[in-house]
């Protein structure tokens, strides 16, 4: 079948490495993550279609689903700004960059975000994004532990996405066939941009949570033990080299890369178990949790 031929396992494997997994992620884990991402994308598409004519899907319907989380919306706005800046630089004939010029995009997606952003919180970057910061700090810690060859591989892995940085007719078609092999939905080009972004963020969050599951498994009986160096925890690191573990700041980063096991299938299953289980104190008033409560990217 056509749907079986389309796969993003190679891309997801590289992404997981870039987010902190082993340099050789477990193939079974990668396939499980791919199935989770695909299921979530299809759920997102079905939710977004409720705000369209149930056949033609534009990017704004997908963006509308993100409105409840200002932090995730800000990351998407920053993503759009970066894309716009890159496009602007590519169209310039000189290398001169106007640093004072606001590169904020004014495309259809950004105009829609500004339209629904009544309080201005979606474009307010004064507040620190702790999730994004923790990913950057983890990547920095990993990069310090790698030799030149592995570092170059790590940089390439961090640049991999579901749309190869830019949506083209070729990779857009691959993504569309993966999500909708029966061609039941007419996707606008902006919708593919958003879906590629949401898929990437889903892989990032699954990896984040899997690393937290592993970290908690190593903390033992001390409930606060995992707080030491929690931003830097990765499958590459063992407890002896976490920040604060031995009271030293002069760690030998050349010994950090220890080839620990990659994220396992069971660790991903534990992530999903926690996501699907109702949280203590959640005000559901006895009702059923919304279908979107377990969608990582939203």
Report the C-alpha gap between 35 and 244 in whole angstroms.
37
- pLDDT for residue 241: 38
Residues in CB range of 65: below 8 A, 6 or more apart = 44, 47, 48, 292, 298
- pLDDT for residue 48: 93
Residues in CB range of 215: below 8 A, 6 or more apart = 226, 230, 233
Report the C-alpha gap between 199 and 43 in whole angstroms.
12
Whole-prediction pTM: 0.80
pLDDT tens, residue order, the chain (298 aa): 444 578 999 999 999 999 999 888 999 999 999 999 999 999 999 999 999 887 889 999 999 999 988 899 999 999 988 887 776 666 665 455 555 455 554 688 999 999 998 888 988 888 888 888 888 888 888 888 888 888 999 999 998 988 755 555 566 888 999 999 999 999 998 999 999 999 999 999 999 999 888 887 766 555 555 444 443 444 444 434 343 444 444 443 333 344 568 999 999 999 998 888 766 555 555 556 556 667 888 8
Residue-wise over 184-201: b if at least 16 C-beta within 10 A, else e?
ebebbebbbbbbbbbbbb
Determine if residue 237 is left, alpha or beta; phi over 0 gives left, psi from -120 to 50 gives alpha, anything else beta: beta
- pLDDT for residue 249: 43
Report the C-alpha gap between 295 and 298 in whole angstroms.
6
Angle CA(56)–CA(5)–CA(1) in degrees, nearest 5? 80
- pLDDT for residue 34: 97
Angle CA(294)–CA(42)–CA(12) in degrees, nearest 5? 80
Residue 119, φ and ψ in degrees, nearest 5 = -100, -10
**Closest CA relative to residue 73, chosen from 222, 163, 197, 207:** 197
Is the separation of the CB atoms in 104 and 81 below 8 Å? yes
Report the C-alpha gap between 14 and 4 in whole angstroms.
20
- pLDDT for residue 226: 47
Pull the structure tokens for residue 12. Answer: 């997801």
The residue whose two tokens read 């990582």 is 296
Provide the sign of the torsion angle of the four alpha carbons 174, 177, 179, 183, taken in this order. positive
**Closest CA relative to residue 244, chosen from 256, 255, 236, 232:** 232
The residue whose two tokens read 């007719």 is 169
Residue-wise over 208-221: b if at least 16 C-beta within 10 A, else e?
bbbbbbbbeeeeee
The residue whose two tokens read 């498994």 is 217
Residue 124, φ and ψ in degrees, nearest 5 = -95, 110
């Amino acid at each position: 079948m056509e749907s079986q031929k389309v796969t993003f396992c190679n891309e997801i494997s590289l992404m997981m490495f870039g987010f902190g997994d082993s340099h050789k992620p477990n193939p079974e884990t990668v396939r499980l993550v791919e199935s989770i991402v695909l299921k979530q994308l299809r759920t997102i598409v079905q939710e977004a279609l409720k705000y369209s004519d149930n056949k033609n899907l534009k990017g704004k319907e997908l963006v509308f689903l993100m409105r409840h989380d200002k932090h995730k919306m800000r990351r998407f706005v920053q993503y759009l700004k970066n894309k716009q800046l890159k496009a602007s630089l590519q169209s310039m004939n000189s290398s001169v960059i106007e640093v004072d010029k606001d590169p904020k995009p004014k495309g259809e997606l950004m105009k829609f975000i500004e339209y629904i952003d009544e309080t201005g919180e979606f474009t307010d970057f004064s507040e620190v994004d702790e999730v994004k910061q923790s990913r950057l700090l983890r990547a920095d810690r990993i990069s310090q532990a790698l030799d030149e060859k592995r570092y170059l591989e790590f940089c390439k892995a961090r640049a991999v996405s579901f749309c190869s940085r830019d949506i083209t007719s070729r990779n857009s078609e691959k993504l569309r066939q993966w999500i909708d092999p029966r061609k039941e939905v007419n996707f606008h080009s902006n919708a593919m941009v958003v879906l590629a972004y949401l898929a990437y963020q889903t892989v990032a969050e699954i990896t984040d949570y899997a690393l937290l599951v592993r970290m908690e498994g190593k903390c033992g009986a001390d409930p606060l033990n995992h707080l030491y160096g929690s931003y830097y925890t990765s499958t590459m690191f063992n407890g002896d080299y976490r920040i604060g573990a031995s009271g030293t700041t002069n760690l030998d980063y050349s010994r950090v890369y220890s080839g620990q096991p990659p994220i396992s299938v069971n660790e991903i299953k534990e992530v999903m178990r926690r996501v699907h289980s109702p949280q203590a104190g959640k005000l559901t008033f006895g009702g059923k949790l919304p279908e979107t409560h377990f969608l990582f990217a939203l």
